[in-house]
Structure 1
Amino acid sequence: MNSAIKTHVKALVVGGGAVGTSIAYHLAKAGWQDVMLLERDELTSGSTWHAAGLLPLFNMSYATTHIHKYSVDFYKTLEAETGLNAGFSVVGNLRMAQTTSRMDEYRLYASTAETAGVPYEWMTPAQIRERWPLVNVEGLQGAIFHPTDGYINPADVTMAMAKGARQRGVVIERKWQVDSYTWTGSEWQVGVTKMVEKGGNLVPSEETAVITAEHVVTATGNHAQRTAKLLGIKTPAIPVEHQFIVTEPDPALVAYRQQGGAEHPVLRDADAKWYVREERGGWILGPYERNAPARFAYGVPDSFRADLFPLDLDRIEEEYMSMIHRLPSSETVGLKDDFNGPICYTPDGNPLVGPAPGLRNMWLAEGFSFGITAAGGTGYYLAQMMVDGEAEIDMASLDPKRYGNWMTTEYAVAKNEEAYEHVFILHHPDEERPAARPLRTSPAYDRQKAAGAQFGHVNGWERPNYYAPEGFDDHAARSFRRGGWWQYAVEEAKAIREGVGLVDATAFTKHTVKGNGATEFLDWFTCNKLPKVGRINLTYALTSAGTTRTEYTIVRNAEDSYYLVSAGAWTAYDQDYLLKSAEDFMAKTGKLVIVQDVTTQWGVFAIAGPKSRDLLKTLIRDADPETALSNKRFPWLSARQIELGMVPVNAIRVAYTGELGWELHHPMEMQNHLWDALMKAGEPLGLKLVGARAQNWLRQEKSYRAFGNELGRDATPAEADLPRFIDLSKDFHGKAAMEALGVRSKCVTLLIDGPDDADPWGREALYDGATKVGRLTSGGYSVAFGKSIGMGYVAPALAVPGTKLKVKMFNELWDAEITEDSPYDPKNTTIRLDA
């Protein structure tokens, strides 16, 4: 039967927790006047009600740091706007370190925090003891303190955001469950059912309605799997048990406070894997222990509402005992209450925020393991994406499409349990987590492993990071400085500069684009001139806001047939944008554009170095092998179909390392045959196997921008300082917006005189004297210059070769100098080396 519920809205937000109410609030604040929020139960009845309410600013992600900072600042304004006290206790957040490695982690994070304007202070054990005498500082090396941080009442802040949303015209409806989503081609029809109480359960009534919405946002928390099934998509958002306990009042704490002692900050002993804060004279302990299980992998039972799981004290015994060690007065205090509830996770611990894969005007805000901290900022930046077309920061790292259709429930369960366990485990920039691996392997995986490959993973693919001798321990080699792997990456980089190396680039994303509209489409879709048949071009697809959406190498095989290569981490992300853009083009022009993902059909080996031609000409089958790879017959930036032994190869003369080289795109099923042939032919030439880390250093020596680092949705190709790849004589998607933005900052390459035992990671702040003027987006070591190297963004006035700056590393400022673009071989002499 029909209901009186409103049935036509501009935006429908599904989910009434902290994240959903924030999104509704910020959409209304951004100017959308017809917004409605639906909650199947009561506001805060999901994970919000049993959250501990912590607001940790600490995060290694640039985007997530901005999100958390906005939340902390925003929550402080809510009472003045709504009259409701959100219960924000600004007591600070003290992260203690028991090891020098943990202090190095904090030093790296601190520089990242500076790029986002997050304040912090350093504290010694003696300073901690003096300020908070109940804390046992035995074994501590120091701490980082965030004075603006603290904790908040999750229900109160949610209700304050809900009131603020209502004041701005948002309609909030409780006890309505979404049962279906149907896209009509221009809007969503959302089938909903009124829920009623029956015997303590929430059950569907006969009252139903269909709500028509231009846009839908799902913020369904623990119900993300049900949401995904209704939408016909996959999501890795699956809850993991998180338990915390509340003690009875601690007499020593009560006395300390009665004597005028300041409230303790949120205490985090990361090496002991817990957080602690005060609660009504006692303590709340929240551990991140081993073996916490995932729950509701296939959906939340209808009977589960604001419920909890039984506490498993045995599982957290180690963390409980370490709390007693750090707070000795808590040893005799009894337990007052306990909570063990589901908290949604994703494989990398970051939420899923952005457009849903394959769907129009459907937005996801799922998988929040730190939902209270992220709620405010998520609402703010997602509203920017929906209302303005793009956020002011690059949100690609949180995009839901970073996990493709290869992902399964079992994979997500294993990785989410791992992500939970790793909350307080050292987050080395070179860390590689082992769960659910290996999964996606190229045929040569076993050969590479036998040769000493130490693998990383990108988009599920196993990819060699570097090669090491038998018995080498990759885990033990990790460091915030130059890890044990560093020397091997140096040798690999030198081999490409001086001889010849082989890099497995099979993980590259590959698409074909064909049809009578392919040329016209790609000419509009990308900002550079299209190549001629048999040639290649580097180009960029822009967002509607004029910033960089994707980088492509385009190979033109025929007049209306193209082969596109893009970053391996972004296959589903790139495919979704390509398909939707092609659909829009075909609807507008009536011409045919066929887009196909061929990533798993083609393996890729990159052969690079001064001796690369010598290697390949021993294998090429041609009437004149001596000239087949010459500049005349196979010039730089061209593509040819060749035969290497018995393997047909689509060869592209390009090298991400900046040396003479070719990418060998080959049938995946023939990869092992080609590998063996290359290894045999390369042996007399000293062929070196090379991993991704050395390649990353080498591309910085050539100032080659990388998507997700220098290239992203917060900067235009012009700001990335790539004018040679922008054809302003033609019209292309995002051109007007790009020109309107101008050049707000500019990408530069810097040579850095850093510490003897460390290189930048690409997360560090840049200074002009004592003034912060920019940030690094990449970092590493240069074998050509014998010092550290980095790339980053500064104000255009500073982006001049010879400008002296400073880089913040390990809490010190180190000399850096902006170089010319492509400091190694700026005239591309080695790349053009002739036979």
Structure 2
Amino acid sequence: MRTHARAVVVGGGAVGASIAYHMAKAGWTDTLLLERDELTAGSTWHAAGLLPYFNMSYATTWIHDYSIKFYKTLEEETGLNAGFSVVGNLRMAQSTARMDEYMTYATTAESVGVPFEWLTPAQMKDRWPLLRTEDLEGAIYHPTDGYINPADVTQAMAKGARQRGVEIMRRVQVDGFTRRGDEWIVHCRRMLDRGGNLIGGGETFDITCEHVITATGNHAQRTAAMIGAYIPAIPVEHQFIVTEKDPALVDYRRTHGEHPVLRDADAKWYVREERGGWILGPYERNAPACFKFGVPDSFRADLFPLDLGRIEQEYMSMIHRIPSTENCGLKDDFNGPICYTPDGNPLIGPAPGVENFWFAEGFSFGITAAGGAGHYLSQLITEGEAEIDMWSLDPRRFGGWVNREYAAKKNEEAYEHVYILHHPDEERPAARGLRTAPCHDRMAAAGAQFGQVNGWERPNYFAPAGFDDHAARSFRRGGWWQYVEAEAKAVRETAGLFDATAFAKHRITGPGATRFLDWLTCNKLPRIGRINLTYGLTDKGTIRTEFTIVREGEDQYYLVTAGAAQAYDHDYLVKEAARKRDEFGWIEVQDVTTQWGVFALAGPASRDILKEIISDATPENALTNKAFPWLSAKNIDLGMCPVKAIRVAYTGELGWELHHPIEMQNYLYDLLMQAGEKHGLKLCGARAQNWLRQEKSYRAFGSDLGRDATPLEAGLDRFVDMDKDFRGKQAMLDTGIRSKCITVLIDGPDDADPWGREALLHDGAVIGRLTSGGYSVAFGKSIGIGYVDPALAAVGTRLKARMFNKTWDAEVVEDSPYDPGNAAIRMNG
């Protein structure tokens, strides 16, 4: 009986088989895969096997691209045909907005190297005469993808894993995990078959290992609970039907190759050929979540009853698009569980709170993602980092406040939104209003149009009463644009007030705090009463986290990080502190996010506004550069509210972050608004802030900064202290400069700005991409931040930016093109 392995993979679907294969390929041949039933017995067996490239996420596009290329190599390696039908994928559009979506996606595809073609309705009709195309605007066509047999590709990966030394044990149920020292004990039992039902009762045994990786699909909640965690991976019912043979299709095949996969996104379905008939897979409204509290032990390769009434509209639209299907009978039907997450992206990466435990869960497009997920996750485990930034897929992007009710509502929404227009500024409506700062109602009354970050409601911008944010969304300059422009101008000319309560906040204290943070971050630590911007690096020398550090005492620090990264950063800080306590001394990590509200006040009039309300014997002097210099922090009183004031502004203007007891927020809000009225104070939102920070070349964590670039590649040399040792320093130096972060001004279209996903070209070749984009009120044109070949990063270099299938002139400008000398930030008074 096997009792030890270096790594144990739990789950024998496509994802688990891929992980086992890639772990062995990376050299970890002492890997064991456990499956409670038979390989492919979960959602893999009833998956339709489609391999769509289309995804608005840069990281997920890389994952899908790897899978599609990898699957084509399996037969040569293993001798097993993976059942890959490379028939192409035609994604049709009924509206100009849908074509805008495709063009927004396509520039990401171009930067990854994904091949695609644009087709007119006439071209579609000429190539595929069974289609009705007169009511279409056009289509994007991927010639290199198609569909695959899920069982065949899983078995091929499993064989490849075995050939590389992996052992696969079937009918083994994992009942728990115990951490002992530096190892995991996986508690197992044999499953017995009684009349077609798998039951316990077989022998129990333990397997000791260094790493556990779970790919348990619909069972993900049960898996996470075994280590005291919760992950929002809950299945949703997905139906698809198979028709009888279509005589018109049979006739078409006599002179043509296999029909491509079809997607009519506006009709919310996919269709592919299946033995002379068709498979229709709709993504309808009101598909219910299932197994909210776990999968019954008796559930094996089972299905739910079909609900044809729920998909009638999608069925009729298939007949409209492919008229020959009207007389095709139904041959078969499927309604099975497919796991989702609240944002539709899988959970790939470390489990929170424990060491060497990894999740690969929540795959709504598991066949498409399996190959790439196994590849990049194995890099994370065996090399410490993947070659792409996996932050957007990290399991810790969802905080501990997420529960089953929230996950069920959001997962149903994610399913429904598979084919709903994915505006870059989309804000989905389910489960909203859950996390609100005290000032929420006041800001709503003032016209706030809210987005959400980590569940927090946060104003995106402010608009007049009756304004419809949903109707204002667009891939171009939507109805919101004029209001954001006015907010950005107000910050440059008078003053703006932002709700920044969603920032993640931690206190690091204890006798080991200073040595710990000095090792963890690449910049000098600030003196007491001062602040520094700094970065925590990975062992590969890339950027793991951005910190604003306020030093409150000799061994007392207040850390501010991105709001979306609260749980991600908390887990990181706690784990690293625990590893270093023996070396540095006791280190206390406290998450104080919900204790402190934050207002960001910025603009030329911000000092005058604070003078009106600061409780100081000489308020005219309390806020001068001498008394309160840039990059310093002081405890002040604004009226009756004690405030931790930080002299910094993400907009590049004179300004302060005002951290205050959250229960006093409404009092402080009213005080600021009253004092600011005569100074032209304007409420502002996240979109204006995003534009303004790009004028200062301030990089944003999660888009411009991530685990695929070092601080030197990101142009953050001034925040790196080369005279000290810090985590990842040598790896950062050894990496060199593979690409360079730049700011560009773009002479773009009159009705659109970049979103931060556009390809950058030089002499017709892709040489980089934007990671942020927007509009500059200072220069009156589009602006963006991105990465390019270092040889093309010099100021004055002329590039092209791809927007809406056209290229537009772009010029590399100096860092901080607005106020490069920081005169506005340092403005005295």
Give runs of aligned pairs for residues 669-684 of structure 1, distance below 5 A: 669-684=663-678
- What's the CA shift string for 1:732-781, capped at 9, x where partnerless? 01111111101111100000000000000000000002011000000000
Q: How does 1:475-624 map to 2 (within 5 A)?
A: 475-589=470-584, 591-624=585-618
Partner Cα separation in structure 2 for residue 95 and residue 699 of structure 1: 36
Number of the residue aligned with 2:425 = 430
What residue in structure 1 maps to residue 243 of structure 2? Answer: 247
The Cα of 1:206 is off from its aligned counterpart by 3.6
1:284 has 2:279 as partner: yes
Letter in 2 for 1:495: A
Q: Which residue of 1 aligns with 2:746?
A: 752
- 1:357 is matched with 352
* Alignment partner of 2:731 out of 734, 737, 756: 737
Matches within 5 A, 1:176-191: 176-191=172-187
The 8 Å contact of residues 461 and 686 in structure 2, kept in 1 or not, is answered as: yes
Structure 2 residue aligned with 1:715: 709
Helix, strand or coil at the partner of 1:626:
helix
| Aligned residue number for residue 125 of structure 2 | 129
Note if 1:629 corresponds to 2:623: yes
CA distance in 2 between partners of 1:110 and 1:412 (Å): 30
Which amino acid in structure 1 is aligned with residue 586 of structure 2? L
Q: Deviations over 1:268-318 (max 9, x none)?
A: 000000000000000000000000000001100011100000000000000
Secondary structure at the residue paired with 1:68? Answer: helix
After TM superposition, the structure 1 stretch with the greater mean CA deviation from structure 2, 500-509 or 201-210, is 201-210
3-state DSSP of counterpart to 2:497? strand
Q: Which moved more, 1:202-211 or 1:554-563?
A: 202-211
Asked if structure 1 preserves the Cα contact closer than 8 Å seen for 2:49 and 2:367, the reply is: yes
Secondary structure of the residue aligned to 2:132 is coil
Q: Deviation string for 1:231-269 (max 9, x for gaps)?
A: 1101000000000000000011111112x1221110000
Give every structure 1 segment of 4 or more consecutive aligned residues whose post-TM-superposition deviation is greater than 6 Å: none
1:438-449 equivalences under 5 Å are 438-449=433-444
Residues 637-677 of structure 1: per-residue CA shift (max 9 Å, x gap): 00000000000000000000000000000000000000000
In the TM superposition, 1:812-831 aligns within 5 A as 812-831=806-825
1:445-456 maps to which residues of 2 (within 5 A)? 445-456=440-451
Inter-partner Cα distance in structure 2 for 1:543 and 1:439? 33
Is residue 2:12 matched to residue 1:16? yes
Asked if structure 1 preserves the Cα contact closer than 8 Å seen for 2:221 and 2:294, the reply is yes
Task: Give the whole-Å Cα distance in 2 for the aligned partners of 1:230 and 1:437.
Answer: 30
Listed as ranges, the gaps of 5+ residues in structure 1 are: none
Q: Of 329, 332, 345, which residue of structure 1 is paired with 2:327?
A: 332
Local SS of the residue matching 1:531: coil
Aligned mates of 1:207, 1:545 — CA distance in 2 = 43
Partner of 2:111: 115
Task: After TM superposition, give the deviation of residue 511 of structure 1 in Å.
Answer: 0.2
2:7–2:212 CA contact under 8 A, matched in 1 = yes
**Secondary structure of 1:277's partner?**
strand
1:358 is aligned with what amino acid? G
CA offsets per residue over residues 96-120 of structure 1, 9 Å max, x none? 0000000000001000001111000
Q: 3-state DSSP class of the match of 1:658?
A: coil
1:34 and 1:721 map into 2 onto residues whose CA distance is: 41
Matches within 5 A, 1:294-305: 294-305=289-300
Residues in 1 aligned to 2:791 and 2:663: alpha-carbon distance in whole angstroms:
52
Q: CA deviation at 1:228?
A: 1.3
Question: Which amino acid is 2:745 matched to?
Answer: L
1:661 lines up with 2:655 in the alignment: yes
- Aligned counterpart for 2:305 among listed residues 310, 325, 334: 310
SS at match of 1:833: coil
- For each residue in 1:48-71, what CA deviation from the matched residue of structure 2 results, as whole angstroms up to 9, or x when unmatched? 000000000000000000000000
Question: Alignment partner of 1:205: what SS?
Answer: coil
CA distance in 1, matches of 2:259, 2:570: 49
Secondary structure, in 3 states, of the residue corresponding to 1:557?
Answer: strand
Query: What do the CA deviations read for 1:798-823 (whole angstroms, capped 9, x no partner)?
Result: 11110000000000000000000000
Give, in whole Å, the separation in 2 of the partners of 1:152 and 1:817.
44
Cα shift at 1:199: 2.4
TM-score normalised to the size of structure 1?
0.99
1:159-179 Cα deviation digits (max 9, x unpaired)? 000000000000000000100
Query: Where does residue 39 of structure 1 map in the other structure?
Result: 35
CA distance in 2, matches of 1:631, 1:797: 40
Corresponding position of 2:396? 401
| RMSD (CA atoms) | 0.5
- Residue 342 (str. 1) matches residue 337 (str. 2): yes
- Equivalent-residue separation in structure 2 for 1:472 and 1:677 (angstroms): 27
Q: Counterparts of 1:428 and 1:551 in 2: how far apart (Å)? A: 27
Q: Which moved more, 1:506-515 or 1:177-186?
A: 177-186
For 1:103, the equivalent position in structure 2 comes to 99
In structure 1, C-alpha distance between the alignment counterparts of 2:421 and 2:569, rounded to whole Å? 31
Contact 2:523 2:720 in 1 (8 A): yes
User: What are the within-5 Å matches in structure 2 for residues 19-168 of structure 1?
Assistant: 19-168=15-164
- TM-score when normalising by structure 2: 1.00
Query: Does 2:407 align with 1:412?
Result: yes
Report the Cα distance in structure 1 between the residues aligned to 2:372 and 2:49, rounded to whole angstroms.
15
Q: CA deviation at 1:417?
A: 0.1
Give SS of 2:61's match: helix
Residue identity in the other structure for 1:92? G
Deviation at 1:700, TM superposition (A): 0.2
Of 188, 207, 213 in structure 1, the residue corresponding to residue 209 of structure 2 is: 213
1:713 and 1:184 map into 2 onto residues whose CA distance is 30
CA contact (8 A) 2:494 2:680 kept: yes
Contact 2:192 2:202 in 1 (8 A): no
SS of the aligned residue for 1:105 comes to: helix
- Measured against aligned partners, the alpha-carbon deviations of 1:356-391 in whole angstroms (never above 9, x if no partner) come to 011100000000000000000000000110111000
Summarize deviations over 1:425-455 as a string: whole Å, max 9, x none: 0000000001001100000000000000000
| 2:646 is the counterpart of 1:652 | yes
- Once the two structures are superposed, the pairs formed by residues 763-802 of structure 1 within 5 Å of their partners are 763-802=757-796
The separation in 2 between residues aligned to 1:777 and 1:560, in whole angstroms, is 36
Question: Per-residue displacement from partner, 1:713-736 (whole Å, max 9, x unpaired)?
Answer: 000111101110000110001111
User: Which residue type is aligned with residue 670 of structure 1?
Assistant: M
Deviation at 1:587, TM superposition (A): 2.9
**Number of aligned positions between the proteins:** 829
For residue 598 of structure 1, report the CA deviation from its aligned partner.
0.2
Query: Hey, what does 1:392 align to over in structure 2?
Result: 387
CA distance in 2, matches of 1:88, 1:262: 14
Instruction: For 1:187 and 1:731, locate their aligned partners in 2 and report how far apart those are by CA, in whole Å.
Output: 30
Q: Provide the rounded CA distance (Å) in 1 between the counterparts of 2:306 and 2:621.
A: 73
SS of 2:371 mapped into structure 1: helix
Whole-angstrom CA distance in 2 between matches of 1:184 and 1:512: 30
Please give the alpha-carbon distance, in whole angstroms, between the structure 2 residues aligned to 1:408 and 1:306.
27
Q: C-alpha distance in 2, partners of 1:423/1:392?
A: 27
Q: Residue 452 of structure 2: SS of its match in structure 1?
A: strand
SS of structure 1 residue aligned to 2:705:
coil
1:796, CA displacement in angstroms? 1.3
